[in-house]
Each structure stands twice: as structure tokens, then as C-alpha cells.
Amino acid sequence: MAENKNEENVAKRSLNFIEQAIENDLKEGKNNHKVQTRFPPEPNGYLHIGHAKAFCLDFGVARKYGGICNLRFDDTNPVKEDTEYVDSIKEDIQWLGYQWENIYYASDYFDQLWEFAVELIKRGKAYVDEQSSEEIASQKGTPTQPGTESPFRNRPVEESLELFEKMNSGEIEEGAMVLRAKIDMANPNMHFRDPVIYRVIKHPHHRTGDKWKAYPMYDFAHGQSDYFEGVTHSLCTLEFEVHRPLYDYFIDELQEVPQLASAADYRPRQIEFNRLNLTYTVMSKRKLLTLVKEGLVNGWDDPRMPTLCGFRRRGYSPESIRKFIDMIGYTKFEALNDISMLEAAVREDLNTRAIRVSAVLNPVKLIITNYPEGKVEEMECINNPEDLSAGTHTIEFSRELWIEKEDFMEDAPKKYFRLTPGKEVRLKNAYIITCTGCRKDENGEVTEVYAEYDPNTLSGMPEANRKVKGTLHWLSCAHCLPAEVRLYDRLFSVENPGAEQEADFRQLLNPDSLKVLTDCYVEKYTQQLKPTDYLQFQRIGYFHIDTDSTTEQLIFNRTVGLKDTWGKKANNPS
Ligand code: ATP
Ligand code: MG
């Protein structure tokens, strides 16, 4: 139901510029009215929410326009890549609700790419350069000054062909030679200044093993892979805008090679959109890998990480992430997205699906002195007031209860509507009680709170509707379970850690991003729930069963609080 409403909203909002471009292409009959996209991650890390923005679009427009979207692993650098990442990427895409048509790998095209490179050499459009990468870089020039031509630029075709073979046979050391496209050392677009298209890497590849020693660079693999696959719309982030002329150049060249060219009326088109950047976190795979490797977080799926597996473990629903991505939209302008918008999206979504239970995180004992000892009542609780089809469950009530320490105050100000001597409050799903006092230890710490209940105040009884200002949650001491609760806060203490000095990166971590509470109690009912169920601890926030949780040791993660308290905290620190 909620799902349908969501899809409706998506359909109603105006087209983004990419959808407009696709609709124009379809109208003009380009590519035989076909739409085909791909999501092209490099399997060198886990997917983060920025990647989700990219693949929601790739899969989303394919679905919307009756086309297909493939998953393609851009596996051109064997040193950093691993099958662990391949598997996690598939899992995360499916978790978010998408399914690829086919799985491809850039390495599937290594033979064709090699053939294309050989063709370019034969046509005098590529050459083997024996200079070091530093020398090549020093000759690049600047956007306003032309570069310097390599002394190897005009070497005979035969020589380049022979050396290119050697680059791949293992005879050439890493860094000793590269293959460069021979384009234009004076072009104002730096990417045209004889870009490196092949380099030597002597590291086994996770799919092709030792077959190759020469590997294509990203710019030489990406567009061609799109072309070999039949991609019509190659959607990527704005930093690739400056690569687009080179993307088009290689497609033009490829179409000149009869054995590699496809139908003349087919051509992929690259369109760029803005990245997702979130406040208080970083979105660079390299930095996230550093956090994992140095043990600054507990793995890729640490609930503080912006990775999809991190959000999943923390208790974010896939729907809330999709909703957020839809909310921020796709534009041509880079922006920093406020994480509180994502939190608002998750709150709104979980409100419709979370099962309400009780938990006491900071317990103090409450004794109902006029309630018979040994008596136990089963109170009915509605699982989700936003969705009555979710049913009900029961919770035991007895003479000794746990309540939150913050819910009692001996000398309370006038506006304190919780427990204080002489005042009434309602216990959620149970009776109205009047506080009669408390006991304290030698340090003045409250150890027990006392109250009397009014037996006529249960739902359906004569006094049930008596007005009281406060309602408290509680647990029967003899009928609840101990639990550990992990409270998460923002991973970084500055708004835009990615923009700060490289060296400071670790120093910017929020030292209070994880607080572990070990003396908590939860309702027994939580033990019957599935690990995937979303929970609301009433009056506290949304919670999720952690993957470390066992029947002996229950562990819950706080997904998000009920209200946005961060703004308040930041404005008036107390
Ligand atoms: P790397 O630093 O390893 O290149 P990457 O984040 O670019 O990391 P890729 O695996 O190359 O990772 O990304 C796959 C796709 O996801 C690319 O098309 C890229 O444009 C897109 N993408 C990556 N980060 C973001 C982001 N923050 N917002 C939107 N799209 C992103
Ligand atoms: Mg990349």
C-alpha cells in the first residue's frame, strides 16, 4: 500500500533532465527506440549510498522506459579488486529492490579491447612510450599551454606492435612502458593529450588469472564496454563530463574497425549527473577502506558507515533510502546533502512499518505498593497504530517494574509531566498510578520509586479516560529480558569531512559516535521477532536487531531517534 503510494509520487513528479533526454531520444527513434543502461561498479569496495543514487537511476530509467539494465563490473585493476566485493555488490543491489538483466565484466572484453588497441597502433593512432609516468606527467602542459610530444611518439608501427606484445607477455616490468593513444598534445582538453590506454600490472586478476599482464585504463575500457554491450544511455557522475569527448572519440574510432563495429545507427551516449554527498560522513571508497583497515570502525557494515550494508545493519529500510534518493533528485550541480534529510526519510518510513515494543535503557525500579504480590496481568499492545493489520501482542504487568531513570524526579519543576511525588501518570497500556516517594542510597542516587495504582483506570474501565499529562513506558522486572543497546551518532564531528585536509581525516572522527549501554531491558516479545523486523522502542526511537545478537545476548542498534535532536544539540550545547 505504502509502496504504491510511493510509486505514484514518483510518477507524478516532473521528469528529471536525464529522463527528458531519454524521452527525446526515444521520440527521435534513436537506437531503434531502445533503452539500455548499466551500473558499472569497480569491485574494489562495498557500495555506499552514493552508488545507490547512481544505480537507482540506472535501474529506474530502464524499468520506466521498458528497457534493460545490466550490472557490469569494471574490473580493470586486479590489484585492488576482489570477489568479496563482487558478492557484496550483488547483495546490496538486490536488497535495495533492483534486479539486473545480465552480469558482465569489463574483463569479458579484454580480447576485443586488445584487438582494438592493436588496430589503433596499426593505424598510427597509438604508440608504446618507454618514459616513466613522471616524465609523461611533466610533458602534459597546462590547460593553457600545450604539452610536449614524447620522443617515442613517432616510432615505427612495427616497433610499437612488438613492444605491446611484450608488455603483455611478462617481459616488461611494471611502469617501464605504456601504450598511449596518439591524439593531440595541444588539445585544450587535457584528456586528449595522448592518454595512457594500457599499462603493465603483474598481479593475478580475480577472473582472468595470469592471462593478461597489460591492462586497459578506465577511459579505454568503459566506453568500449558500453558499446560492445549495446548500452544506449551511459549515466555517470559529473566528474566524467571532461572525459566525455574521449569517450566519444574512442566510439568513433571503434566504428571504423569493421570486425568490432556494430550497426551504424547504434551509439551509446554519456550523460552526467551530480554526486550524492552527505554531511558528517565521507563517500570515498579509499577513505572508507582506510576506516575499515585501521579498525576505526567495525568493518564495512559498521552501522555508522554510509555503506548500504551499514545502513541495513543499522535498520534503515530500503524504501527509506529510495525515498531519500528520489527526494534529492538528479541535477547538474554538485551539492552537499544534509544527513538529517535522510534521517527524516527513515523516520517517516519506519513509522509505517515498525513494531512498537517497550525497552528501558536506563532502568530504575518502580514498585506499585498496592498491587498484589505474585499477581500478573497480560496487557494488550497494538503492534503498529499506523497499520492495524500488524495485529497485537501482550505484555505482562506486575508489582515490580522497570522505568527510565529520567522518568522520575524527586523535586520536579511545574512542567514536569512524568513521575514525581503526589502526581499522576499513565503507564502505557496499563493503569494510572500516583507517585508516593522513593528510596535513595548513601550518595543520594534514587534506587527505588514507589507508587500506587488505581484499579479502575485500565482501558474499558470507568476511570479509563481520566486526564493525565504523562504516559510512561515500563517493563515487568520478572518478565523482561536483559539486552545491550548500541546508540550511534554521526561518524564525523565536522559537516564536510571530505573537504578537510587529507592528514586530518582521522582526527575528524566523532569520538562519541558509538555508545554501548549494557544494562538495558526489552520486552520478551522481541525474542520472537525476525532479525529483519523494524522496531520502535516506544518514546525512544527506531531500533533494529544487530547481526551480533544471539538468544543469550540480545543486541539492538538504534537506527534513528524519534525526533531530530542533533539540530538542538548543535545550537545549544549543554
Ligand atoms: P573509486 O574512487 O573507486 O572510483 P567510485 O565511488 O567512483 O570509487 P565506482 O565503483 O567507480 O566507484 O562507481 C560506480 C558508479 O557509481 C559510477 O558510475 C559512479 O559515477 C557512481 N558513483 C560513485 N560515487 C557516487 C556518488 N557519491 N554519488 C552518485 N554516484 C556515485
Ligand atoms: Mg570510479
Q: Compute the distance from residue 532 Cα to the ligand 2 centre, in Å.
A: 31
Residue 13 has a pLDDT of 74
DSSP helix/strand/coil, 379 = strand
244 in contact with ligand 1, CB cutoff 6 A: no
Q: With contact defined as beta carbons under 8 Å apart, do 337 and 501 qualify?
A: no
**Angstrom distance (rounded) from CA 90 to CA 86:** 7
CA distance to 222, 486, 500, per residue, from 362 (Å): 54, 13, 37
493 in contact with ligand 1, CB cutoff 6 A: no
pLDDT tens readout for residues 42-90: 999 999 999 999 999 999 999 999 999 999 999 999 999 889 999 999 9
Which amino acid, one-letter code, is at 364? V
Which residues, other chains included, contact 446 with Cβ-Cβ below 8 Å and sequence gap of 6+? 364, 405, 408, 410, 438, 439, 440
Q: With contact defined as beta carbons under 8 Å apart, do 481 and 475 qualify?
A: no
Number of H helices, E strands in the chain: 14, 25
Q: Which of 166 and 13 is assigned the larger pLDDT? A: 166
Atom from ligand 1 closest to the CA of residue 275: 28
Q: Which ligand is nearest to the CA of 284?
A: 1
Residue 119 designated active-site: no
236 in contact with ligand 1, CB cutoff 6 A: yes
Residue 275 designated active-site: yes
Average confidence (pLDDT) over 236-256: 97
72 in contact with ligand 1, CB cutoff 6 A: no
For a pocket test of ligand 1, which of 16, 18, 42 has the largest count of ligand atoms closer than 8 A to its C-beta? Answer: 42
pLDDT tens readout for residues 388-406: 999 999 999 999 999 999 9
Q: With contact defined as beta carbons under 8 Å apart, do 296 and 305 qualify?
A: no
Residue 515 designated active-site: no
pLDDT tens readout for residues 423-470: 999 999 999 999 999 999 999 999 999 999 999 999 889 888 899 999
Q: Which H or E element spans position 249?
A: helix 244-255
pTM score, whole prediction = 0.93
What is the residue with the minimal CA distance to atom 3 of ligand 1? 285
Spot the catalytic one: 285, 313, 322, 418: 285
